[in-house]
Amino acid sequence: MALLISGCNIYNGEEVNTQTGAKELILKDKFADDFKIGTAISKAQVLNASDPELLLAAKHFNTFTPENAMKWESINPLPNEYQFEVADALVNFAAANKQQLVGHTLVWHSQTPDWVFEDDSGNLLNRDQLLQRMQHHIKTVAGRYADQIFAWDVVNEALNEDGTLRESKWQQIIGDDFIEHAFMFAHQAAPKAKLYYNDYNMFKPAKRAGAIALIKRLKQKGIQIDGVGMQAHYSLASPDFAEVEDSIVALAATGVDVMITELDISVLPFPENLAEGADVSLDVALQQQYNPYATGLPNAVEQQLASRYQALFSIYKKHSNSIGRVTFWGVSDKQTWRNGWPMQGRTDYPLLIDRNMQIKGFVDSL
């Protein structure tokens, strides 16, 4: 399959500029000796074959993660109703462009409809009923793509900041072993797929310890877990990248692969009364002091962003034997979720590709 992108022919992974003949920086090629480079793809992108960001994704990335298309509320919004159009389109696009597709996500406390946990009268299900519902969903979704999806984020964000299990409805109704069952059901549905646990703020020592305990518990019980995803929603001020490195080393020591997932580095100030991370439930009114770069990013701030990315990628490359994939949460600054979280209407610059869909100048030095 050949794609024409901004005067470049891409064919079988080879890229040639048809206008100048010059080599262009291609992200997946730049880090080919280190790790896979991925991005998140949205519904709007994958359903529009001419979307410039979708074509750019095919050019620069060799793994895809669906932004929302495979979350429970999107793919199974009502009992016995499955909507596979977007997921099918993404699977087909990834296959046509020889990219690995990571399914995201099978079990999560957020973006899961209330009916999942309730009977027809609105009463909470019991343990056996909810386990049965979980198994049916995983069998239906993961089973449909058993030969096409390389790996699954089986469980997403099940830990509190102190490393204990989040008191979600999954945990409250089924118990602490809901994670074990999710991984077992995923293995039954897609026996060839890699199975991952994914969470944010994994650089924090307490949360890191909780993840390590979770991995060890699954392994001790003979339950398949192949990797852990460290979400990387960072800022210019935090976290301390020494803690990020400590977590990479500690997680890899458990014998699983480490993936860097959902990477972006916000340049915007964050309200002091809100906890940084990736809690999608945060939604506060726009305040202009938290949107200082609406008309453009000052060079001095872009240099700060460059320094942060350079420091981070030096760590990633140092530990490339442990890191299988680095996935950005979005293709370009134009459509990053950071523009709308935790305030709608902000203008952020957190990715390596700018609003004009050009690679930023500092990327070559990463």
- Alpha-carbon distance of 37 to 63, in angstroms, equals 6
Cβ atoms 133, 106 nearer than 8 A: no
∠ Cα 55 146 193 (to 5°): 85
User: Can you tell me the distance from the alpha carbon of 230 to that of 241, in angstroms, rounded to the nearest whole number?
Assistant: 13
Helix (H) or strand (E) holding 15: strand 14-17
From the candidates 157, 180, 276, 302, which is the catalytic residue? 157
First to last CA, the chain: 30
Active site residue 262: yes
Contacts of 191 (CB under 8 A, 6+ apart): 146
Residues 6+ apart with CB under 8 A from 86: 43, 46, 47, 66, 69, 74
From the candidates 15, 53, 262, 276, give the one annotated as an active-site residue: 262
Query: Is residue 348 within 8 Å of 336, Cβ to Cβ?
Result: yes
Residue with tokens 């014998």: 255
Spatial separation of the C-alpha atoms in residues 129 and 139, rounded to whole Å: 15
**Mind giving me the DSSP string for 72-108?**
HHHH--BTTB---HHHHHHHHHHHHTT-EEEEEEEEE
Catalytic: 67? Answer: no
Active site residues per annotation: 157, 262
